[in-house]
Structure 1
Amino acid sequence: MGSASRHAITSSKAALAGLGAKANLALGEQLFAAGRAFAESAQLRAVLADPAVPAADKSSLLGKVFGKGLDATASKLLGQIVSDRWSSQDDLLAGVEEIAIRAAVSGSKKNEAVDAELFAFSRAVSSDAELELSLGSKLGNPDAKAALVVKLLKGKASAATIAIVSALVQQPRGRRIGALLSYAADIVADQAGASIATVTSAQPIAAAQLTSLGKSLAKVYGRELNINLIIDPAIIGGLRVQVGDDVIDGSVSSRIQELRLQLAG
């Protein structure tokens, strides 16, 4: 995102936080629907992203486009979002999507680990080529993709997870399904004041060891870390830890590769 958009997303997050209990799944679903409408209309998107158009005119346009499709809370928040200066139309779409995700999980119960559910679904999709194609194909019908997500996750995941995944597969904006779910999980964790650490191990790790690792990483990063564990025998031994763009690779396979490079040099 450009600098203007980074400021806009900060402002939008503050506006969402100011809603208190009104920030909930219903609000998130309305914002997701608005984002799809923006994506489908180049003319609407151009006007809303134009910094020369007065905020009052943008709010009036939203009212004409959505009518009673948005409740008072969603209408006001969306008006605040589009009134900010965005670096591009794509950044505006991304901003609405991020705030929708944050709103969707704001009312989640404490025992609903939405980021963990997103990770689990991502792993399931990546292991099933047919499913990945069904959800990620550019030629697929958006409504059919959403219906498939509901069928797969109903009764197995929280309502927030289902809403987020359904919305993302309908509007991927050129992103692969794995990247979509990873991106959403990061936002969900951040909304709860945490980050995600993806730990890859050659074999299962005891819960106590994972807890200890999480505490150690939390000290380094200064915030809570939610750990996603991947079992991959290919790394042979050791651990590979990724937090955001940071990668700590202590796997045996990595060391072997380094040795090979040294010998080749």
Structure 2
Amino acid sequence: MSSATRQSNAAARERLEALTDRASVDTSALSADLQAVTGVLDREIGLRRILTDPATDGQRKADLVNSLFGAKIGADALDLVTGSVRSRWSAPRDLVDSIEQQAALAEIIGADKAGALDEVEDELFRFGRTVAGSNELRAALTDNAADRTAKVALVERLLGGKARPATTKLVASLVSQPRGRSLESGLEEFSRLAAGRRGRVVALVTVAVPLSDRQKERLGASLAKLVGRPVHLNIEVDPAVLGGVRVQIGDEIIEGTIADRMDGARQGLVGQ
């Protein structure tokens, strides 16, 4: 990510945080509006090029956004989008990525205000595990030829009444507008955004048997001390690890399972 895009993303995040600090803001409606703008800009290559052209005056770009979206989205979303197009972006797609991220963050902030952010994080992770374990479900949700409305309806049948509304809406946004990424990577991205809301990092923990609450607390405290930040644990039970624990934080893997030690022993024997 270039410095221009990084700075513009940071400015967009600050505007969103300031806006959603107001109790009167409907974060769900704001998210839906921003998601709608994302869809238009994702389809209209020429438009996003115009809106990110550094040679075009920022006010002219803001006026264009007003003329296109002013009657279709709320004033809060319009303010955020016009603020974004006034910023500098290294590539046209960066603008669309940023607006989509703002849409997801609006839902996440709403869940945080409702005291439901931990649940949303857990539900995103569990849904990702469910999709990973069912080729049929994954195909139904990611088929580019399938009707988007039908895919969203499937998500609502799967999660409606069983998960937080923010979770359902976030997953629905991914299946309706995948934008060239896998469903799994989109879910991971939203999980990172949710964890980042509280300054946390996400740790994928794989164990042979479920952990007790006390074990989770001790592991979370140990990992937080290791990385210097609070840690949200996504725990996956896999008997194949044979005991111990495997932890992945970003690209870093901490391997302490019996299976891994056995593999190491076997490799040592082969090398003798």
Amino acid of the structure 2 residue aligned with 1:2? S
Worse overlay, 177-186 or 188-197: 188-197
Any residues of structure 2 matched to 1:51-62 within 5 Å, and which? 51-62=54-65
TM superposition shift of 1:138 = 2.2
- Is this contact kept in 2: 1:240–1:247, CA < 8 A? yes
Q: Alpha-carbon deviation of 1:74? A: 0.6
Query: Following the alignment from structure 2 to structure 1, what is the Cα–Cα distance between the partners of residues 2 and 145?
Result: 30
The equivalent residue for 1:6 is: 6
1:62 shift after superposition: 1.1
1:110 aligns with 2:115: yes
The reply to whether residue 69 of structure 1 matches residue 79 of structure 2 is no
CA contact (8 A) 1:12 1:81 kept: yes
Q: Residue 209 of structure 2: SS of its match in structure 1?
A: coil
Aligned to 1:234: 240
Q: Distance in 2 between matches of 1:171 and 1:96?
A: 13
Number of matched pairs: 265
Tell me by how many angstroms 1:166 deviates: 0.8
The 10-residue stretch of structure 1 (179-188 or 88-97) with the greater mean CA deviation from structure 2: 88-97
CA shift for structure 1 position 73: 0.9
The answer to whether the 8 A contact 1:189-1:195 is kept is yes
Match of 1:167 among 170, 173, 176: 173
Per the TM alignment, residue 23 of structure 1 is displaced from its structure 2 partner at its CA by 6.7
Taking a change above 3 Å as real, the CA distance of residues 263 and 24 of structure 1, as seen in their structure-2 partners, is: same
The residue number in structure 1 matching 2:197 is 191
**Deviations 1:68-106, CA, capped at 9 Å, x for gaps:** 211111101111122211121222221111111111121
Q: What is residue 221 of structure 1 aligned with on the other side?
A: 227
Q: Quick one: which amino acid aligns to residue 25 of structure 1?
A: S
Amino acid at match of 1:124: T
Offset of residue 210 of structure 1: 0.5
User: Contact 2:62/2:82 (CA < 8 Å) preserved in 1?
Assistant: yes
1:104-126 superposed Cα distances (whole Å, 9 cap, x missing partner):
12122113421111111111111
Per-residue deviation, residues 137-188 of structure 1 (Å, max 9, x unmatched): 2222222212211121110111111111111111112211111111111111
Residue of 245, 255, 259 corresponding to 2:251: 245
TM-score by length of 2: 0.92
Q: Structure 2 regions of 5+ residues with no counterpart?
A: none
* Map 1:91-110 → 2, pairs under 5 A: 91-108=94-111, 109-110=114-115
Match of 2:149 among 121, 132, 143: 143
State percent identity of aligned pairs: 37
Cα pair distance change 1:50/1:234, threshold 3 Å: same
Aligned 8 A contact 2:204 2:248 in 1: yes
Compute the TM-score of the two structures, normalised by the length of structure 1.
Answer: 0.94
